[in-house]
Amino acid sequence: MNEQSTTSSSLGGIITAILTPVRADLSIDTERLVAHARDLLAKGGSRVSTFGSTGEGVAFSSPEKREAVEALLAAGIRTDQLLPAIMTSSVGTAAQELADLAELGCREVLVLPPFYYGSPSVAGLVSFYEALFERAGRPNVRLVLYNIPAMSGVTITHDLIRALRAGKGAPIAGVKDSTGNIESGLAYVKAFPDLAIFTGDDRVLPHLLHAGGAGMIGGLPNLYVEDLVALYSDPKGPNAHSLAALAAERIARIDSTGGLVALKSELASRESDPDWVRCMPPLDGRFRAGAGR
């Protein structure tokens, strides 16, 4: 039974779903990745989450992702400053990635539910999470469940969380709710007050914090981490309303102009570094960059 308190004081704050820079040969540019991660952490971000949706996690192989995490650790970034993501429908691949991350010292991992086969049952989802944890060797790692049904086609329901916590799978540390729905995030906080509940949407952040949520895991901190850290640190302060309005304006602009491709384009412009524009196929950052000129 995993029916136990899993909240960690270190699992909170503004966690950047970090963009993944790629070279012309489509390998991961670990030098740029390290530099960007250091900058985000130096500016107050609590962690970086590698290879989620914003990090194009489904586009890279398991060995490539492990090598990148190793590069971050070799550069002095601590495991408690990382929240790597696992995004695959293969039990075997997910288990290997979980085992790799555990071997590297990571103790929390963001996990997307298995996708492609629509509307799996609660029992089917439980069997996936339990199998990946068992095949990984039951490591000392806790899962943050990734709820992004618009992309995965799977909703992390309250019934699923209860079933996972009552079963023999990995302990659950929290949930990342990327629905953009305020009520969805608040419902997780109310139902599971001992879990770290995150939003993936800047517009939801102040509402979630007021209710006792843990913070956000999202893409906009790649560009605006200091503003979001300020909002997290004082969600009821004199500048909170203006910061929240600015965050809402920014995410609406990014979402309407290309999502992560737009994020890469803006980061490339800010850094005067055109290599940041490059995306993994089938995304085409060059088109976005050219469209802005």
For residue 3, give both structure tokens.
């029916």
User: Which pTM was predicted?
Assistant: 0.92
Average pLDDT over residues 153-160: 95
Predicted confidence at residue 9, as pLDDT, reads 43
Predicted confidence at residue 286, as pLDDT, reads 61
For residue 171, give both structure tokens.
């302990």
Predicted confidence at residue 291, as pLDDT, reads 40
pLDDT tens for 26-55 read: 999 999 999 999 999 999 999 999 999 999
pLDDT tens for 269-288 read: 999 999 999 999 999 866 45
pLDDT tens for 213-259 read: 999 999 999 999 999 999 999 988 888 889 888 888 998 898 887 88
CB 36 within 8 A of CB 271: no
User: At 187, which helix (H) or strand (E)?
Assistant: helix 182-191
Count the Cβ atoms, other than its own, within 10 Å of residue 127: 16
pLDDT tens for 80-95 read: 999 999 999 999 999 9
pLDDT tens for 105-142 read: 999 999 999 988 878 999 999 999 999 999 999 999 99
Superfamily holding 13-291:
Aldolase class I (3.20.20.70)
Residue extents of the structural domains in the chain: 13-291
Predicted confidence at residue 174, as pLDDT, reads 98
pLDDT tens for 98-113 read: 999 999 999 999 999 9
* pLDDT, mean over the chain: 91
Q: In this structure, what are the phi and psi dihedrals at residue 251, rounded to the nearest 5 degrees?
A: -70, -35
